Each structure stands twice: as structure tokens, then as C-alpha cells.
Structure 1
Amino acid sequence: MDRIDARAKVTGTAKYSSDHNLPEMAYGYMVTSTIGKGQITSMDLSMARAAGGVIEIYTPDNRLSFPGTMPALGGVFAETRHPFADREVHYYGQVVALVVGETIEQARDAAALIKVTYVAQPPKSSFEDAKQNPADPPSIPGLPLGEVIEKPVGVDIEAALAASEIRVEETYDVPPRHHMMMEPHAAVAAWQAGELTIFSGTQGPAAHALEVATVLGVQPADVHVVSPYVGGAFGGKAFTWAPTLLAAAASRALGRPVKVVTSREQLFTVTGHRAASSQTFGLGADRDGRLKAIKHHTTSQSLVEDPGYRTTAKFYATPNVHIKLSITPDMNLPAATIMRAPGDEAGSFALESAMDELAVALGMDPIELRMTNYLQGTLIEGKPYSSKHLDECYQVGAERFGWSRRRAQPGTVIDGDWRIGMGMSTAILDSGRAPTAVRVTFRPNGTATVACATSDAGTGMWTIMALIGAGALNIPVNRIKPALGDSRLPLVGSNDMYGAVGSAATSTVTPAILVAAQEAVDELVQHATTAEGSPLFGATGVRYDGGRLVGAGTSVDFGELLTRTRTSEVGAQGTTAAADDSHAYASYAAHFCEVKVNRWTGEPRLSRFTTVVDAGAILNAKTARNQITGGVLFGLAAAMFEEGKVEGATGRISNANFADYVLPVNADTVPIDVHFLDYPDTRLSPTGARGIGELGTVGAAAAFANAVYNATGKRIRTLPITPDKLLT
């Protein structure tokens, strides 16, 4: 099924956050710091205030009101220091002023006239230096991130590795990475009678409302977040950042709507990024390839990137494992946050590269090595998997890709100026299901609304809600009107307030659609037999059949029924609980990659990619394939191009723009061969669906790196894999 929101998006009728223009609206433009650490000693605003159209300038000396602190997960995965909290500068690109003008041009031009004087200090911004003296991460109640994982408890992992017949130990480095979504962070805020309406792109409208309300010191019910369309997020819009808070606070202070749109350069510093990480892997095995020990020690800028917890504990069987995360605290860098497959992407690059190195050391086929260490249940808790067909992913993928043609000896396949190589990797991503609520409502115009306070960050939730709603009500999909992206739509508690994150939206929302649809049908039948004006008034044995009410020799469409009874709507809200914890839930894939590396320039090019996916029932193959393809390209971008370059002496991100921060374009990719096994996982959800949004990116970089090794004999352990690394 085509995306039902596609036409609105490609024709420009879909309104994103910054597309909203309200009467008497003012425009805010952020001014950011030009040092990495120090204090603001003075700010000369005279020229800016004298510029035309300036309404107000907010600074540490003229602060906006932020009386509350960021709640819940926002206090862990977002910036907790409020804008203009003091004169301290903690990182290059920190917001130090907001100019509000009558037009965006006037605000921007006035911002350029502000003269800020600093006392600068040497910033702690080099991750390479900081990782030499790491520290233990803070303990976060209720979050296992950063906890040491070992099996058995007290294991001497070095002794276990030393006792192994074959041992591989290497370090793998992943640089900082930025979300680079097409739609920048933006907010349009307006207050009326003490209530805030804010148009702000978000992955979780209700969570966004809670965070904004808490920081502003108002009740969550007084904040209405509207975000039906999100132009990309990748985790960057899961939490609330300075642009939204500034728009809301400035609007309250000025008594008029305020719009704040983040510039592309500002996105690199004021709205979070993926933290750098350095991972040391030790693998020990016997000569048959059975793993005897796994050591995975990571140093990261932030506990958000905890690769061992997210990957190593669930990929392969071993009797001895030790996983530890250290962090580089108090760095003068922008706040890190979640980014598509946080921890999983970086962790899978290291683990799957190390497994490939072990396969080479053993003289063993990489698939055979993985099957030798296949996990039947979780490594630490020993829980059974709800459904797992990863072995079939390997088998089907190898056949589709032509893995049997691979030559194990690196550098032996040459086509003119190009060396050809093949590599593969595993992808595993936890799945889940949170409590949620959905309301299904029948309308007199013959349509039914399916409503939930979730989000569509490009993942296809508009379409899935329509598709499942149509199936549950047995009516054509064009009669379903989904409603989402609004904090005042149905939700349950706090567990589902985080919306489109964790690849759990489909498995969370679709079961509730089924429940709500049945309860709405029951209400409709009751209405048909009790409402005056109904042709079925007083009838018994009335049933619902494909949009019609049938009984007593009469049949009437629900739209006609509601019209005749002069009723605006009939519906019901259905709720569902989280999945039980008796099993472990995950989605799986096997990636196969072929690359070409130029013999003279070292340029690596993607030539073929196949991925076979076990993600439960595939509810809509078209959007599912789109998600896997996008995820694979996301991971390949990390392998080939992406790198946030931080100047160690200043803390400045030197490539903070769309020109120098390199992303793949059409010429850099090929059609991705995606195949779904389509085994419903009914333990997780009655619709049988598991998450796929982040699965494609897990392991993709490793498959590329392993193919590069097979092509050249050069093992690149630091991303991205660029020609200079292949020529040295």
C-alpha cells in the first residue's frame, strides 16, 4: 500500500512545524558562542537594539523564565542546562542570546551585530585525549545503561581469553555523528488564556508536552503540541531542545506568537548528536569456532552510547562474558542524545568486525562461525526468544546473494581497476510493546477515525494506522481517517508517551487499534438498537458486517445510521498493556555486502547489498522495505562518509554544514535487495509485527568493512572507511 501521506508531502500541502504562520507572529534567531569554554564578560547589544524591527533580546542578563527541570528520560538524554542559565560557556555553539524581531531577516541581521566578549579557557573537547582517562558512568535508577554485565559473576575475563585456543583482541573507533534530518528543529508557539499551543516537530507529542510544561512551570494539560508531519528525526526529535523552549518562553514573555527555526549549522550543537565511542573487543574460541570468552570494554562521551549492553549481550553464545562502559565526563562538547539504533549501531560494527577477524584467524566461513555460536535464548537471563529465525536469514541471504562465490583469500578478485570483496554481518534489535490507547470513532460521513497520540517521523505510521483500522472494521482503507501527532489524542500513562522511538510504535499501536475497533463496533450496535430514528431501533440480534448494521431484515451503513439518528459520532477507546516478560523479543537480519575498491585511488564503492529480515509479520511490505532500505543506507553512511570533526583546540565542529558533513547521495548507492521471512510473532502482539525502523542500520557498517577487507586485505577499524585509510 502506498503511503497515505505521500501526496500531501510531495505536493507541499503537508504543514511542518515552521510552515505555520500565525497573526502578529514574531521571529526568534539564536546567537551561539564562538569559544569552547569560558565566561561571557560582556555583551554589547547597542547596535542590535538600534537595528530595525528588533522587539527584544534575551541573554544571561535578560533571561527568559524556565522554573522547572527536564523530567523523566529528558533529564538523561537531552540538555538539562536551560538557555541563558548563567554566563558560563560549556561548549562551542552554545546558545548565548535570542534576538526576536518582526521578521526573520531583521532578527538574523540584528543577531550579527551583537558583540560578545569572552574570557576563554582551553576546552576539554578532544575525545582522543579524554578517553585516556575515562570514568565510571553515573547510575541512573531504572536504566541498565552503564552497568557492568558479567557471566558468570566475578569472571576473570582475561584468564578466560588466555585459556582460549584462538584469540582476537582489537579496538574499534566510531566518531561523532549528527542526525542531519531534512526538517530542522523548529517551533511556533502561541499562548492564549494561559494555555500554550506549539507546533514543534517531535517523535512523541505527549512527552514533548510534558517536558515543555515541566520546564516552563505549567500543567501538562495546558500545553498542546501539534506535530502531524515530521521531516525526519532519527532520535534527534525524541526529546525537547532549546529552540522549542525558547519559542515557548519568548511567546509567553511577549504575549504574541514566536517562531524559532534552527539553522543547519546550529543543529550540530544545540539539538544533540551521537557520541563518539572507542570499543576494545576480545574474543576467545576453541579451534572449532566455539566462543569461550567475550570481552567488550567501551569508552564513550555519553552513557547513551552503551554498545555492549545493547549488542554483545544478545548476539552470540559464550560461557564467559564481561561488558563494561566508561565515559569521558565533563567534556566541553554539545549534549549527546539517542540516534537511530543508539549503541546498537556502533556496537554491531565492533562486534561483527571482530567476529569476521575471528573467522579469518580460524580459517572458517563467517556464517558457519555465527551458526556455531547461535543463541537459542538470551545470554544473560536465559529467557527464550518469542520467535527467532535468524538461521534462515543466513541461509536465504547466502543463496540470494551468491555467497558461495566468495573467495576467502582477500584481494584475489580483480575487475580492471577494481578489487572486489564480499562481507556479511548479523543484525539484532530488541523489540517491545508499551501500554497505549487508541480511539476508533464512526462518523456520519461514512468514515471512521483511528486516533492515537503517537507520531510518524517518516516511518509510515499514518499508513499502518489506516491499514490496520480498515482491516479491523472490514471497510475500504479510504474510509479510515488516521489522527496522530497531537498531544491531546489518546494515550495511557507515561510508557507510551515517547511515541515513535525504539522501533516499537507499530507493535505498540496496532494491538490497541484492534481492541478499540471491537469496542467501537459494540457501541455502534448498541446505538443502532437504542437510538431514536434508527431503522434498527428495538431490534435484537443486530450485528456489524463490513461497515453495515444488519438485523431484523434491515441493513444500513453506519454513516447513514448516524445521519438518521442525528449523531455526530459513536466510538470507543481501547487500551492494551505491555508485552509480558516471560520471553525476550527481538528482530533479526543477515546482511550481505559486495564492494569495489579502486586499486589506484583507494575509493571504496558499494556494488551490491542483500538483507534478509525476520521481523515478525510484515503489515505493509512497501513501507517496511522502505524502512529497511533507509536503515541499511543509514549504516552504510557511517561506514563510508559520516564524521563530525571536532577541533581539539577550540571545540568547534569544523564541518557543521551540509557541504562538508558528507552524506551518501543517489550516486553512492545501489538498489538494496530486501527479503522478509514474514513469520508472525503473536507472543509480542496479536498483529504479529515487530520493530524494523532501526534494524537495517545495525550491522550494515560491519558488512561493508568486512567486504572491504575481503577486497583488499586491509582491516579498517576506525570509521568512516575513506580512501586515505586504504592507501596507507
Structure 2
Amino acid sequence: MNSTSPIGQPLPRVDGRLKVTGQAKYAAEFEIPGLLHGSVVNSTIARGRVRRIDTTAAEAVAGVVLVLTHENRPPVASYDEPYQDDDAADGSPFRPLYNDRVLYSGQPLALVVAESLELARYAGSLVRIEYDVEPHQTDLAAVREQAHPAPEEVPSRGDFEAAYRGAPLQIDHEYGTPIEHHNPMEPHASTVHYQPGDELIIYDKTQGVQNCMRYVEGVFGLEGKVQVRSPFVGGAFGSGLRPQYQLPLAVMAALKLKRSVRVVLKRQQMFTFGYRPRTLQRLAIGFSPNGRLEALHHGSLGQTSRFEDFTEHEVEWSGALYACDNVQLEYKLGSLDVYTPIDMRAPGAAIGVYALEAAMDEVAYAAAIDPLQLRLRNYTGINGNQGKPYSSKELRACYEQGAERFGWSRRPLEARSMRDGHELIGWGMATGVWEAMQMPASAKACLAADGRLIVSSATADIGTGTYTVMTQIAASALGLPMDRVEFRLGDSRFAQAPLEGGSATVSSVGSAVHQACVGLREKILDAAQQSPASPFTGASLDDVAFEDGELVLKRDPARRVPLAQLIQTSGTLEAEASVKPGDEREKYATGTHSAIFVEVRVDEALGTVRVTRVVSAVAAGKVINPKTAASQILGGVVWGIGMALHEETWTDHRLGRYMNHNLAEYHVPVNADIHDIDVFFVEEQDSVVNDLGSKGVGEIGIVGVAAAVANAIYHATGKRVRDLPITPDKLL
């Protein structure tokens, strides 16, 4: 890193101008000559068979080219042996238009393809479907007794039963979380540019272009014929990790018609695939009068589809976050006539830590101990599930600095003890935790003829700032100004990259970008040494510096050469690097941690809740860009407030159908709901997690927020609501 390194600087987004001026193109915005448009027709029942599909009226509409159903779809290579994508759950993945079976309400049953989107949607309304209806079940509580263990084992330790029976104090409660849907601004869309010989260029809304490429190649037997591009994504939050059904439908239509086809889902159809699953979680904790945890049981029942077992890390956090010798963890699944859930921001942790941290608040009140002191009393530097120390864990600093900024020391212990007129005031807090993951990744760096540095990797930017931080990492490595560096992403032809999820992109792809630039430094120095009279003859990389676009000899800084001049002599220079987690990581547990402090005001007569202050203190290693990182945390806090007070997908179990599948009735926080949010990062050094010492921040922002809000509401009102969201009817 050079002395003027952009790493650690709060720089604006390099793609910001493109976005605010409308020049950034998304999956449904690429123009292709002769493009056809598809509209999906979805099932209106939750379970049964299609007896008959009448497409006559739709096909009679002028401009309609095709109505695709299970009866006339083209052959699909992998439908007898379903192809698993990179984010698939255990089981048999959903195959659109596979046969006449209806597996869930909203299942795609037909695709109308027409000359325009309006025609396609109108014709889709004319398709008539007759069903043989079968009894369905969509209520998780109703299948509690039929639940089966999740396929992924969860660790337990000690003797919970004996320790719990012998504990002086005990709590035992159930906490519920509802179905939530991602609802990114950009709907899912796929534009398939058909070319002769069944070669396809696909523009897709995805968090992993290479995953989609492999999926299409595998499903349709098109190896080597598919390129997927996704330069910009208008939010995803996990909904783009798996290929959604509009992609294979668009490919089917393109292959059958030998023409280019676009399929865009409507907002209502954004509720017809993955979501955050409903859970019922039990926390039973035995503890001493001074608040020491002696026994902890965390069991979760989560919903899944009948064709896949979707498993989250919901309960493991309870075995990792606090010191306790006797821990029993259990995770079961209830199979329902629904689509499979999918990862949603901080999957597992957002809901699992909610239950844990709400239960810890109940422990604090039962032991008459300040909730922050309770957490400090049970603090540990070891991940109990793994029996390993953390590579770094500045959670204690998060507690201390966050409490200071919030003014926590002035908090009275008693509930219903603070009031301002007709409003009850409450202060609550919670801990946040997420994994600090790294996955194998590659990147390519090229010093072009004009002296610009072009770096590429097949990663994504779903709004997190990937373009910007990768540009910062590359600029720092070669001592170039930011405007002389271009980072390219979202193309399956680029160097291998993992799915953009799990807060692992900077750790994984960022490390590859850094290493590729280090490799390029070697080639630049080698090129500079080609002349016999070169001042760099015999110099090693330790003897030189890269500053202000120049190669500099450290012992004689007057001896320097501009990289642009060097490249004119040597020609374009390139380097590619692949990285994976180092062996040193195996000795440690790794994680990102936070402490969240919340103030609420509750109208005593109306039961309405305002979250008036939030302080979020985060320990995330080396923060590459504090501006974009803080923005991620802010967004997570807003979502956590929504999770606590607003978000819930309602199911009419008589129909097995979602009732509020729109943005009018699916409630999310708006500007008027959000007040003062103070985000800051505590100092944390970590030489183990990756070469950059950086941990991701995309997920950690939401974890613990809902619990902190719920705990603040209890402190304000003295009423404990354990089922999210906490709405006025529950408080009254």
C-alpha cells in the first residue's frame, strides 16, 4: 500500500454518475433487434394437477407468437436428472413447465410470448387453466409434529438437561418470525439474445453470472455456448443467488423460436419464488443469580418446500456467541406446499440472533442485571461450536464505545420507568454477529497501452459498492489515481468469482484483485529492467515503490519512470491471480461483530412505536471504504427496524396463497419511520482473515437490530411481544 492509498478513504461510488443519470443498464434494458417479450401465467391453486390449459384465446391475439406450456416446451437436457445450481438446497430443485403437477400457489404454468410486453400480458390474462385440486398445507404450526431434522447437523456440547434442571434460574419461551420477501427495486428479468447455432448471450438479474451460465449450460445441454452478463443489479438481498424461473423460461422460448426473448417478472410475481422462511424458535436458558449462563437450548422449526430441504444457520449462533458449557442445538424442518425459501440478508442470523438476543434480555430482567453487563459477564473470545479462538474480536470495544455514544449508563433498569407526555420511552440493546468468510476467487489485471489499469472478475455489484472498493484496492496496489483504474465485473467470461453473498466479496474477490496487481507489479518491474542502462537493474520489489502512476526507486526517488511511458515500450502487461482461504485460518474462528443500542417511543394509547435513535458499533477488520460500508450498515439497520415493526408476508392458509403480494400492503419502513442512526466502526486488526485484513459488512448491519428494538419496546412498556413484527394490535 502506498502512502496516498485510497484504501480506508470514504470515496464516492465510481458508478454513481452512471446510475443517477440513467446510463447504467439493467437486465431488462438491453435493446436487441427483433426482441420478443414473455409474460408468465401462474397457478391459482397450491396443490394438484393441471387437467387442461386452454390457450386458444391467447393465441388468437394478433402479435402473439407462442404460448409455452409443459405440453409443448422444447426438450430439456437435465429435466430427468435435475441440475443443481451453486446455491441449491438438498433435494430436487424446481423445474418450471416440467409436467402437470402443481407444487405451490404461484407456480409458473405457461409463458405467453408476443411482439410487445403489453400484448404478452394481455394475452396471458386469456389463458384458462382447469385443475384437479388436492388438499394442501401451508401453515408451519400445523405440521409441527411431522417435522424432520434438517440435513445439516448442528453442534451441541455438555449436558443441557442436567445443567438446566440444576440451574437456580430458568426461562423457557418461544419466539416467532414471519415469512419475509426480498422486494428489491429491480424485478427479476432475463434478456436472452439468441444467435445462430443456439449460442446465447443472456442479460440476467443475478448475484452470480457464472452460476447462471453453468445452470443454463447444464439444464439445456449448451456447454460452451452461453455467456451471462449482469453489469448492474438493482438490489437482490439474496434473491439473485439462485437462478429464478424467468431465466429457464426465457431460454426455453428462445431455443424453441430461434429468436431473442425477454421475460420480466411483475411485482406480484416477485412473491412466487424464494423468501425468508417462517420460524418457531424455542430458547430455554438456565443461569445463576449473577447472570452466568449454565445451560442453553436453542431449537428452531423452519418451513421448507416438499421438494427441497432448505437449511439455514439459525441456531449455531447461540452456541458461538456466549460462554456456556452446556449447549443443546436443534433444527427441524416442516415441509409445506410452498416454494423453497432462499437466503435473505444475513440468512439464519437475522432470525436466529433475534430469538437469542430477545431471550438474553429476558435473562437480564430475571436476574435483575443490566442487559449490557449480562453480555459482558458471558463474553468469550472462543467460538464454542468450534472450540477455536477468534482471529480478532473487538466486540467488547463495540459494547463500550457504543454504550458511551448512546448514553447507556443513564438507563434505569426498571421497565415503564421513562416517559415523555403520552409516550413511553425505552432503551434496548443487542449483539450482532456474522461470519467473516473467504471463498476461492480469481481476478485479472491489465496495464493497457494508454497507461490505464483494467482489472476484472466475474463478481457482481448488487448495490454494495463492489465497483468502488475493487477500484480502490487496485489503485492502491499500483499507486495509481482512481480515475486511471477501471474495474469490470458481471460477465461470465471474466476470471472465476463466487456468488456475491455472505459478505464475502471483498474478502474473496478483493484479495484476488490485490494479488493480481501484485503479480502485475512484478511484470512492470521486469519490463523496466529490460534496458541495460535501467536504474532498476538488480532491484527487487522491496526496492521499488509505485506512486502517483510512476515506478520509483526507493533509495533514489529521483529515479522514476511513468507507467504509461513504460507500457509504450513494453506493450500491454497482464497478470492473473487466484486466491483461497489460507491454512492459518483453520486455527481460528472468524467473525464480524456489532453492538446495537436503540431508543423507542411508544404511544401508550395507540400502541404505535417510533424508533427515534439507533447506535450501531461494528467491528469489521480493515474497512476499505468507510462511506460505502457505513451505507451498508445504515441499510441493514433500516431493514432491522422493518423486521421488528413492519415486514410480514400474510398467507391465507385456506387458499395457500400470499395475500399482500405488492408494495402497498407488504409494509416496509419509509422515510417518516427512520430517525437518527449513528453508525461507526471500531478499530480492529486481523492478519488472518485475508491479505487485506477486511471483513464484510453487507449482512452484519441487520443482525441484532430487531432484537434491540423488541428489547427497547419491553423496557418502554413492560410488555414482551415475542412474535415479529411487533404491531400496535399486539402491544394493545
1:702-721 correspondence runs (5 A): 702-721=707-726
Match of 1:278 in 2: 280
The alpha-carbon deviation at position 267 of structure 1 amounts to: 0.7
Q: Structure 1 stretches of 5 or more lacking a match? A: 140-144
> Is the 2:298–2:315 contact (alpha carbons within 8 Å) kept by the matching residues of 1?
no
Secondary structure of 1:667's counterpart equals helix
Distance between the aligned counterparts of 1:223 and 1:503, measured in 2? 28
Corresponding pairs, count = 705
1:582-593 correspondence runs (5 A): 582-593=587-598
**Equivalent in 370, 393, 399 of residue 394 of structure 1:** 399
> Is the 1:126–1:647 contact (alpha carbons within 8 Å) kept by the matching residues of 2?
no
Equivalent residue letter for 2:419: I
The alpha-carbon deviation at position 210 of structure 1 amounts to: 1.3
Secondary structure of 1:692's counterpart equals coil
> Is the 2:439–2:498 contact (alpha carbons within 8 Å) kept by the matching residues of 1?
no
Equivalent residue letter for 1:282: A
> Is the 1:308–1:347 contact (alpha carbons within 8 Å) kept by the matching residues of 2?
yes
> Is the 1:413–1:711 contact (alpha carbons within 8 Å) kept by the matching residues of 2?
yes
The alpha-carbon deviation at position 308 of structure 1 amounts to: 4.0
1:12-411 correspondence runs (5 A): 12-68=22-78, 69-76=82-89, 80-137=93-150, 139=151, 145=152, 147-152=153-158, 155=159, 157-192=160-195, 193-219=197-223, 221-269=224-272, 271-302=273-304, 304=310, 306-329=312-335, 331-411=336-416
Distance between the aligned counterparts of 1:415 and 1:554, measured in 2? 69
> Is the 1:450–1:483 contact (alpha carbons within 8 Å) kept by the matching residues of 2?
yes
Change (3 A) 1:279 1:307: farther
Change (3 A) 1:148 1:527: closer
Distance between the aligned counterparts of 2:294 and 2:536, measured in 1? 73
Change (3 A) 1:594 1:31: same
> Is the 1:530–1:538 contact (alpha carbons within 8 Å) kept by the matching residues of 2?
no
Secondary structure of 1:131's counterpart equals helix
Q: Percent identity?
A: 36
Change (3 A) 1:396 1:77: farther
Match of 2:457 in 1: 452
The alpha-carbon deviation at position 439 of structure 1 amounts to: 1.1
Match of 1:142 in 2: none
> Is the 2:74–2:255 contact (alpha carbons within 8 Å) kept by the matching residues of 1?
no
CA deviation map 1:246-278 (0-9, x unaligned): 112211221111100010000101x31111000
Equivalent residue letter for 1:98: L
CA deviation map 1:470-527 (0-9, x unaligned): 1110111111100111111112xxxx432x1111111112222222112112212333
Equivalent residue letter for 2:136: P
**Equivalent in 668, 673, 679 of residue 668 of structure 1:** 673
1:475-624 correspondence runs (5 A): 475-491=480-496, 496-498=497-499, 500-530=500-530, 541=539, 545-546=546-547, 547-549=549-551, 555-564=560-569, 567=571, 569-579=572-582, 580-624=585-629
1:615-654 correspondence runs (5 A): 615-654=620-659
The alpha-carbon deviation at position 575 of structure 1 amounts to: 2.0
> Is the 1:178–1:268 contact (alpha carbons within 8 Å) kept by the matching residues of 2?
yes
The alpha-carbon deviation at position 454 of structure 1 amounts to: 1.0
The alpha-carbon deviation at position 678 of structure 1 amounts to: 2.6
Match of 2:7 in 1: none
Secondary structure of 2:222's counterpart equals coil
Q: Structure 2 stretches of 5 or more lacking a match? A: 1-10
> Is the 2:181–2:271 contact (alpha carbons within 8 Å) kept by the matching residues of 1?
yes
Equivalent residue letter for 2:422: D
Deviating more after overlay: 677-686 vs 458-467: 677-686
Secondary structure of 2:122's counterpart equals helix
> Is the 1:77–1:337 contact (alpha carbons within 8 Å) kept by the matching residues of 2?
no
The alpha-carbon deviation at position 424 of structure 1 amounts to: 0.2
Match of 1:681 in 2: 686
Secondary structure of 1:273's counterpart equals coil
Distance between the aligned counterparts of 1:528 and 1:482, measured in 2? 25
The alpha-carbon deviation at position 550 of structure 1 amounts to: 5.8
Change (3 A) 1:544 1:410: closer
Secondary structure of 2:243's counterpart equals coil
Distance between the aligned counterparts of 1:119 and 1:72, measured in 2? 31
CA deviation map 1:387-439 (0-9, x unaligned): 01111111111110011121221112111121100000000111111122111
> Is the 1:613–1:676 contact (alpha carbons within 8 Å) kept by the matching residues of 2?
yes
> Is the 1:78–1:272 contact (alpha carbons within 8 Å) kept by the matching residues of 2?
no
RMSD of aligned residue pairs (Cα, Å) = 2.0
Secondary structure of 1:149's counterpart equals coil
Equivalent residue letter for 1:316: Y
CA deviation map 1:147-185 (0-9, x unaligned): 142103xx3x33321211110000000010000000111
Deviating more after overlay: 299-308 vs 684-693: 299-308
